[in-house]
Amino acid sequence: MKILLIGNGGRENAIARKIHESKLFADTGSKLYVTQGNPGINEFAEPVNIHPTEINLLINFALKEKIDLTVVGPEIPLSLGIVNEFENKGLKIFGPTREASEIESSKVFSKKLMLENNIPTADYRSFSKDNLKEAKEFFNYCKYPIVIKADGLAAGKGVVIAGNAGEANETVIEFCESKIFGEAGVKFIAEEFLEGEEVSVFVITDGEEYKVLPFSQDHKKINDGDRGKNTGGMGAVAPVKKLMNEDLEKSIRTKIIEPVLKALKNSGRKFKGCLYCGLMISGNEPSVIEFNCRFGDPEAQAVLPLIESDFLGLLLAASSGNAIEFSKFSKFSELKNYDLKFNDSYSCCVVIVSGGYPDKFETGKEIKGLGNINDTGIESKAIVFHSGTKFSDDRTKILTAGGRVLS
């Protein structure tokens, strides 16, 4: 089987490793390609020099190489419609369509969907650049803190928790007038601040059936003690056993997962792929903070190593497209029949970032000692995933190439 992985960060390193260790991958003499990748991903996948957003070039490559399955890591190609375009050519692909991925790319859409379908979430109001005056009036009487979110994709930076009207006004002016987020931010929502404990839940779905992976917890603040600026994620643990009790799991399934999948399907936006539910748990009841249309980073690095059953089989079962005859893999052809199993370990993922991140940081620094990770005995199960790394031009060294470097 030939597989193409789209993306090149830590999450994609975890996906590549997991696909590579799949029995199905070995049994079918498979080959994995990746859009450029990085030194960590390239241990498992051959780089293809196409950017994740160059959809036409990716389609040409997939057709020419007869790719059996494409797996999309990041949200941007999904929101650009990579799945729609691949499906139009009859190519099998793991991920939601452009319309379904609006669950992440438009906060206004996802909040409206939740409201219309009684899915528990924070109360909110939506505003746009054209009714800033109303927003400012609202900020005079609303309860603080309040959470202000830019509407489009803003790489984890479009959320501000404002403590008073002054901060709220400053935030929306920045969102709208200086357009720091481009189109994201021209529309925004202001929502109630939720208290509780956050949990990330990955739901693998073909749009009808679904399987839930072990819960994880992301730690977003840059400093120890949950202080400082928000980042894309500084680390994650899984499973979050203290939040995995029968009643809560049932509420998450019946009040959130099932209604949202049904609502998406009924509105003609059937969701296939990984639905990421970012939840706040308060008094053993869940509320939705956000939905994402893909695996989280760094949660994927913590969660995927816990999967015992065949990961490639899981991705295949949840993928759309009809070009390929999967009869020889028939036991994986339906998600309904897929027996999802986990091992009973725990994982703790720590992200190593460049000094200065999430603001300005330097790149191009040599990374040494990567080969020693398992020398100390106790870490014999440690795994290093690469996010922002690259080879030096002469390929003798590994250099830093981003804010989040390793996990």
Tell me: does residue 296 bind ligand GLY (CB under 6 A).
yes
122 binds, among ligand AMP, ligand GLY, none (CB under 5 to 8 A by kind): ligand AMP
**Nearest CA among 322, 300, 321 for reference residue 311:** 300
Tell me: does residue 104 bind ligand GLY (CB under 6 A).
no
> Cβ 111 to ligand GLY, closest distance in Å?
17
Of 145-174, binders to ligand GLY (CB under 6 A) are 156
From residue 320, alpha-carbon distances to 58, 273, 325, 405 in Å are: 17, 9, 12, 33
Candidate residues 85, 191, 206, 310; the one interacting with ligand AMP per rule CB under 6 A: 191
> Cβ 158 to ligand AMP, closest distance in Å?
7
> Cβ 224 to ligand AMP, closest distance in Å?
16
Q: Which stretch binds ligand GLY (CB under 6 A): 38-46, 296-304, 336-344, 389-397?
A: 296-304
Q: Look up tokens 């009684």; give the residue.
A: 118
Q: Which stretch binds ligand GLY (CB under 6 A): 107-115, 147-155, 248-256, 291-299?
A: 291-299
Tell me: does residue 292 bind ligand GLY (CB under 6 A).
yes
173: CB partners within 8 A, 6+ apart: none
Tell me: does residue 147 bind ligand AMP (CB under 6 A).
yes
Of 203-232, binders to ligand GLY (CB under 6 A) are 218
Size of the site for ligand AMP (CB under 6 A): 13
> Cβ 130 to ligand AMP, closest distance in Å?
23
193 binds, among ligand AMP, ligand GLY, none (CB under 5 to 8 A by kind): ligand AMP
Q: Which stretch binds ligand GLY (CB under 6 A): 47-55, 62-70, 241-249, 289-297?
A: 289-297
**Nearest CA among 131, 85, 91, 139 for reference residue 108:** 131
SS (H, E, C) the chain: CEEEEECCCHHHHHHHHHHHCCHHHHHCCCEEEEECCCCCHHHCCEEECCCCCCHHHHHHHHHHCCCCEEEECCHHHHHCCHHHHHHHCCCCEECCCCCCCHHHHCHHHHHHHHHHCCCCECCEEEEEHHHHHHHHHHHHHCCCCEEEEECCCCCCCCEEEECCHHHHHHHHHHHHCCCCCCCECCEEEEEECCCCEEEEEEEEECCCCEEECCCEEECCEEECCCEEEECCCCEEEECCHHHCCHHHHHHHHHHHHHHHHHHHHHCCCCCCEEEEEEEEEECCEEEEEEEECCCCCCHHHHHHHHECCCHHHHHHHCCECCCCCCHHHHHHCCHHHCCCCECCCCEEEECEECCCCCCCCCCCCEECCHHHCCCCCCCCCCCCCECCEEECCCCCCEEECCCEEEC
191 binds, among ligand AMP, ligand GLY, none (CB under 5 to 8 A by kind): ligand AMP
Tell me: does residue 156 bind ligand AMP (CB under 6 A).
yes
Size of the site for ligand GLY (CB under 6 A): 7
Q: Which stretch binds ligand GLY (CB under 6 A): 136-144, 167-175, 295-303, 354-362?
A: 295-303
Tell me: does residue 151 bind ligand AMP (CB under 6 A).
no
Q: Which stretch binds ligand AMP (CB under 6 A): 84-92, 193-201, 369-377, 396-404?
A: 193-201
If the CB atoms of residues 92 and 107 are measured against ligand AMP, the closer one turns out to be 107
**Nearest CA among 306, 335, 289, 386 for reference residue 18:** 306
Of 285-304, binders to ligand AMP (CB under 6 A) are 289-290
Candidate residues 278, 323, 350, 367; the one interacting with ligand AMP per rule CB under 6 A: 278
Tell me: does residue 297 bind ligand GLY (CB under 6 A).
yes
Tell me: does residue 258 bind ligand AMP (CB under 6 A).
no
> Cβ 300 to ligand GLY, closest distance in Å?
8
- The site for ligand GLY (CB under 6 A) is made up of 156, 218, 233, 292, 296-297, 299
- The site for ligand AMP (CB under 6 A) is made up of 122, 147, 156, 159, 191, 193-194, 198, 220, 230, 278, 289-290
